[in-house]
A and B are shown apart, each in its own frame.
Chain A
Protein backbone atom coordinates (compact mmCIF):
# COMPACT_ATOMS: atom_id res chain seq x y z
CA UNK A 1 0.00 0.00 0.00
CA UNK A 2 1.57 3.25 -1.16
CA UNK A 3 0.65 5.69 1.56
CA UNK A 4 2.51 8.66 0.08
CA UNK A 5 2.16 9.37 -3.62
CA UNK A 6 4.63 11.74 -5.27
CA UNK A 7 4.52 13.47 -8.64
CA UNK A 8 5.98 14.06 -11.13
CA UNK A 9 8.52 11.26 -11.40
CA UNK A 10 10.90 13.63 -13.13
CA UNK A 11 11.07 17.23 -14.25
CA UNK A 12 13.39 19.49 -16.17
CA UNK A 13 13.61 23.17 -15.33
CA UNK A 14 15.74 26.00 -16.64
CA UNK A 15 18.18 27.74 -14.34
CA UNK A 16 16.33 30.42 -12.43
CA UNK A 17 12.97 28.69 -12.82
CA UNK A 18 10.66 27.18 -10.22
CA UNK A 19 10.55 23.44 -9.53
CA UNK A 20 7.30 22.16 -8.03
CA UNK A 21 6.89 18.67 -6.59
CA UNK A 22 3.61 17.40 -5.17
CA UNK A 23 2.77 14.72 -2.63
CA UNK A 24 -0.46 13.27 -1.33
CA UNK A 25 -0.93 11.09 1.71
CA UNK A 26 -3.65 8.78 2.95
CA UNK A 27 -2.99 8.25 6.64
CA UNK A 28 -4.56 11.08 8.63
CA UNK A 29 -2.43 10.10 11.62
CA UNK A 30 0.66 11.48 9.88
CA UNK A 31 1.73 14.70 11.55
CA UNK A 32 5.26 15.42 10.34
CA UNK A 33 6.24 15.86 6.69
CA UNK A 34 9.94 16.17 5.79
CA UNK A 35 11.52 16.55 2.38
CA UNK A 36 14.84 14.91 1.57
CA UNK A 37 17.34 15.60 -1.20
CA UNK A 38 19.47 12.75 -2.52
CA UNK A 39 22.47 12.86 -4.84
CA UNK A 40 23.72 9.73 -6.63
CA UNK A 41 25.70 7.47 -4.31
CA UNK A 42 24.67 9.44 -1.22
CA UNK A 43 22.07 9.03 1.46
CA UNK A 44 19.01 11.29 1.69
CA UNK A 45 19.71 14.65 3.32
CA UNK A 46 16.99 16.52 5.20
CA UNK A 47 15.98 19.66 3.33
CA UNK A 48 12.97 21.11 5.11
CA UNK A 49 10.04 19.80 7.13
CA UNK A 50 6.56 20.92 8.13
CA UNK A 51 3.88 20.05 10.67
CA UNK A 52 0.17 20.28 9.78
CA UNK A 53 -0.49 23.22 12.10
CA UNK A 54 1.08 25.58 9.53
CA UNK A 55 0.17 26.00 5.87
CA UNK A 56 3.55 27.14 4.61
CA UNK A 57 7.19 27.05 5.63
CA UNK A 58 10.06 28.73 3.85
CA UNK A 59 13.79 28.18 4.22
CA UNK A 60 15.90 30.06 1.73
CA UNK A 61 14.87 29.05 -1.79
CA UNK A 62 12.80 26.08 -0.54
CA UNK A 63 9.13 26.39 0.44
CA UNK A 64 6.69 23.74 1.62
CA UNK A 65 2.98 24.35 1.13
CA UNK A 66 0.60 22.17 3.14
CA UNK A 67 -3.13 21.56 2.60
CA UNK A 68 -4.44 19.48 5.49
CA UNK A 69 -8.01 19.12 4.19
CA UNK A 70 -6.80 17.84 0.83
CA UNK A 71 -4.05 15.72 2.46
CA UNK A 72 -1.52 17.22 0.07
CA UNK A 73 1.78 19.02 0.40
CA UNK A 74 4.26 20.36 -2.08
CA UNK A 75 7.85 21.55 -2.38
CA UNK A 76 8.70 24.65 -4.36
CA UNK A 77 12.33 25.30 -5.30
CA UNK A 78 12.67 28.94 -6.30
CA UNK A 79 15.45 30.25 -8.55
CA UNK A 80 16.52 26.67 -9.34
CA UNK A 81 20.26 26.15 -9.79
CA UNK A 82 22.21 23.37 -11.54
CA UNK A 83 23.42 22.27 -8.12
CA UNK A 84 19.80 21.51 -7.20
CA UNK A 85 19.81 18.67 -9.73
CA UNK A 86 19.03 15.68 -7.54
CA UNK A 87 16.26 13.32 -6.53
CA UNK A 88 13.78 14.71 -4.04
CA UNK A 89 11.67 12.59 -1.72
CA UNK A 90 8.71 13.63 0.34
CA UNK A 91 8.00 11.61 3.46
CA UNK A 92 5.51 11.39 6.28
CA UNK A 93 5.45 10.03 9.79
CA UNK A 94 3.51 10.08 13.04
CA UNK A 95 5.80 12.48 14.91
CA UNK A 96 9.39 13.17 13.93
CA UNK A 97 10.94 10.29 15.80
CA UNK A 98 9.07 7.45 14.16
CA UNK A 99 9.49 5.49 10.95
CA UNK A 100 9.28 7.46 7.72
CA UNK A 101 7.02 6.55 4.81
CA UNK A 102 8.56 7.89 1.61
CA UNK A 103 7.12 8.91 -1.71
CA UNK A 104 8.55 7.43 -4.89
CA UNK A 105 10.88 10.35 -5.60
CA UNK A 106 11.22 13.07 -8.24
CA UNK A 107 14.36 13.44 -10.33
CA UNK A 108 14.98 17.12 -10.94
CA UNK A 109 17.32 18.31 -13.66
CA UNK A 110 18.16 22.00 -13.76
CA UNK A 111 19.52 23.07 -17.13
CA UNK A 112 22.02 25.93 -17.19
Chain B
Protein backbone atom coordinates (compact mmCIF):
# COMPACT_ATOMS: atom_id res chain seq x y z
CA UNK B 1 0.00 0.00 0.00
CA UNK B 2 1.86 3.03 -1.29
CA UNK B 3 -0.91 5.48 -0.39
CA UNK B 4 -2.52 8.18 -2.49
CA UNK B 5 0.04 10.15 -4.48
CA UNK B 6 -0.45 13.68 -5.80
CA UNK B 7 1.70 15.67 -8.18
CA UNK B 8 2.91 18.35 -8.09
CA UNK B 9 2.98 19.14 -4.36
CA UNK B 10 3.16 22.86 -5.05
CA UNK B 11 2.16 24.93 -8.06
CA UNK B 12 2.65 28.67 -8.46
CA UNK B 13 1.16 30.27 -11.52
CA UNK B 14 -0.03 33.59 -12.84
CA UNK B 15 -3.67 34.49 -12.99
CA UNK B 16 -5.23 33.41 -16.26
CA UNK B 17 -2.97 30.40 -16.78
CA UNK B 18 -4.18 26.82 -16.96
CA UNK B 19 -2.99 24.23 -14.46
CA UNK B 20 -3.34 20.46 -14.23
CA UNK B 21 -2.92 18.24 -11.20
CA UNK B 22 -2.52 14.49 -11.08
CA UNK B 23 -3.69 11.96 -8.51
CA UNK B 24 -2.69 8.30 -8.29
CA UNK B 25 -5.02 6.44 -5.92
CA UNK B 26 -4.29 3.35 -3.86
CA UNK B 27 -4.03 0.64 -6.49
CA UNK B 28 -7.09 -1.48 -5.70
CA UNK B 29 -9.37 1.50 -4.97
CA UNK B 30 -12.16 2.04 -7.48
CA UNK B 31 -13.44 5.36 -6.14
CA UNK B 32 -11.48 8.59 -6.42
CA UNK B 33 -12.46 11.96 -4.95
CA UNK B 34 -11.29 15.55 -5.32
CA UNK B 35 -11.65 18.09 -2.51
CA UNK B 36 -10.53 21.67 -2.10
CA UNK B 37 -9.26 23.06 1.20
CA UNK B 38 -8.66 26.74 1.89
CA UNK B 39 -6.59 27.94 4.82
CA UNK B 40 -8.23 27.30 8.16
CA UNK B 41 -11.19 25.46 6.68
CA UNK B 42 -12.27 21.88 6.26
CA UNK B 43 -12.01 20.20 2.86
CA UNK B 44 -14.92 20.78 0.48
CA UNK B 45 -16.07 18.13 -1.97
CA UNK B 46 -15.55 18.85 -5.67
CA UNK B 47 -16.21 15.63 -7.58
CA UNK B 48 -15.78 11.89 -7.53
CA UNK B 49 -15.36 8.92 -9.84
CA UNK B 50 -16.17 5.27 -9.67
CA UNK B 51 -13.74 3.64 -12.04
CA UNK B 52 -13.78 5.96 -15.07
CA UNK B 53 -17.31 7.30 -14.53
CA UNK B 54 -17.72 10.73 -12.95
CA UNK B 55 -20.66 10.20 -10.60
CA UNK B 56 -21.10 13.59 -8.98
CA UNK B 57 -19.90 17.17 -9.31
CA UNK B 58 -20.29 19.89 -6.72
CA UNK B 59 -21.73 23.28 -7.58
CA UNK B 60 -18.29 24.54 -6.48
CA UNK B 61 -16.91 23.02 -9.67
CA UNK B 62 -17.36 25.84 -12.17
CA UNK B 63 -17.05 25.30 -15.90
CA UNK B 64 -13.36 26.29 -15.63
CA UNK B 65 -12.74 23.06 -13.75
CA UNK B 66 -12.64 19.66 -15.39
CA UNK B 67 -11.66 16.28 -13.99
CA UNK B 68 -10.98 13.03 -15.76
CA UNK B 69 -10.16 9.47 -14.87
CA UNK B 70 -9.78 7.96 -18.34
CA UNK B 71 -8.74 4.43 -17.50
CA UNK B 72 -10.17 4.17 -14.04
CA UNK B 73 -6.75 4.50 -12.43
CA UNK B 74 -5.10 7.95 -12.07
CA UNK B 75 -7.10 11.15 -12.34
CA UNK B 76 -6.35 14.70 -13.46
CA UNK B 77 -7.95 17.93 -12.35
CA UNK B 78 -7.55 20.89 -14.71
CA UNK B 79 -8.32 24.50 -13.93
CA UNK B 80 -8.54 26.83 -16.89
CA UNK B 81 -8.06 30.61 -16.73
CA UNK B 82 -7.07 30.51 -13.07
CA UNK B 83 -8.35 33.21 -10.71
CA UNK B 84 -7.08 34.46 -7.33
CA UNK B 85 -9.90 32.61 -5.62
CA UNK B 86 -8.59 29.30 -6.93
CA UNK B 87 -5.66 29.47 -4.52
CA UNK B 88 -6.13 26.49 -2.21
CA UNK B 89 -4.95 23.00 -1.39
CA UNK B 90 -6.42 20.44 -3.77
CA UNK B 91 -6.78 17.07 -2.10
CA UNK B 92 -7.36 13.70 -3.69
CA UNK B 93 -8.76 10.70 -1.83
CA UNK B 94 -9.57 7.14 -2.78
CA UNK B 95 -11.64 4.32 -1.38
CA UNK B 96 -12.77 0.81 -2.20
CA UNK B 97 -16.47 0.63 -2.94
CA UNK B 98 -18.00 -2.84 -2.67
CA UNK B 99 -21.70 -2.04 -2.41
CA UNK B 100 -22.86 -2.25 1.20
CA UNK B 101 -19.43 -3.00 2.57
CA UNK B 102 -17.75 0.35 1.98
CA UNK B 103 -14.30 1.40 3.08
CA UNK B 104 -13.22 4.84 4.30
CA UNK B 105 -11.49 7.43 2.19
CA UNK B 106 -7.73 7.82 2.32
CA UNK B 107 -6.22 11.16 1.38
CA UNK B 108 -3.07 12.22 -0.39
CA UNK B 109 -0.95 15.15 0.82
CA UNK B 110 -2.48 17.50 -1.71
CA UNK B 111 -1.33 20.01 -4.30
CA UNK B 112 -1.02 23.56 -2.99
CA UNK B 113 -1.96 26.05 -5.71
CA UNK B 114 -0.89 29.68 -5.41
CA UNK B 115 -2.14 32.22 -7.95
CA UNK B 116 0.02 35.32 -8.37
Q: CB-CB < 8 A to B93: which residues of A? A: 43, 100
* A20-58 near B? 1/0 per residue, CB < 8 Å: 000000000000101010000111111001000000000
Nearest CB of chain B from residue A104's CB, rounded to whole Å:
5
Residue in B closest to A104 when the chains form the complex, CB atoms? B42
Tell me how many residues of A have a C-beta within 8 Å of chain B: 25
CA distance A96 to B103 in the complex (A): 6
CB distance from A105 to the nearest CB of B (A): 5
Answer whether A43 and B95 are a contact pair too, CB < 8 Å, given A97-B103, A99-B56. Answer: no
User: Which of B40, B45, B108, B110 touches A100 (beta carbons < 8 Å)?
Assistant: B45
**Min CB gap B2→A, angstroms:** 14
- Count how many chain B residues have C-beta atoms less than 8 Å from C-beta atoms of the other chain: 26
Q: How far is the CA of A74 from the CA of B110 in the complex (A)?
A: 27
Q: Are B109 and A41 in contact (CB under 8 A)?
A: yes
Instruction: Report the minimal beta-carbon distance from B36 to chain A, rounded to whole angstroms.
Output: 11
Partner of B107, one of A6, A32, A45, A99: A45
Q: Which of B41, B42, B43, B102 contacts A96 (CB 8 A)?
A: B102
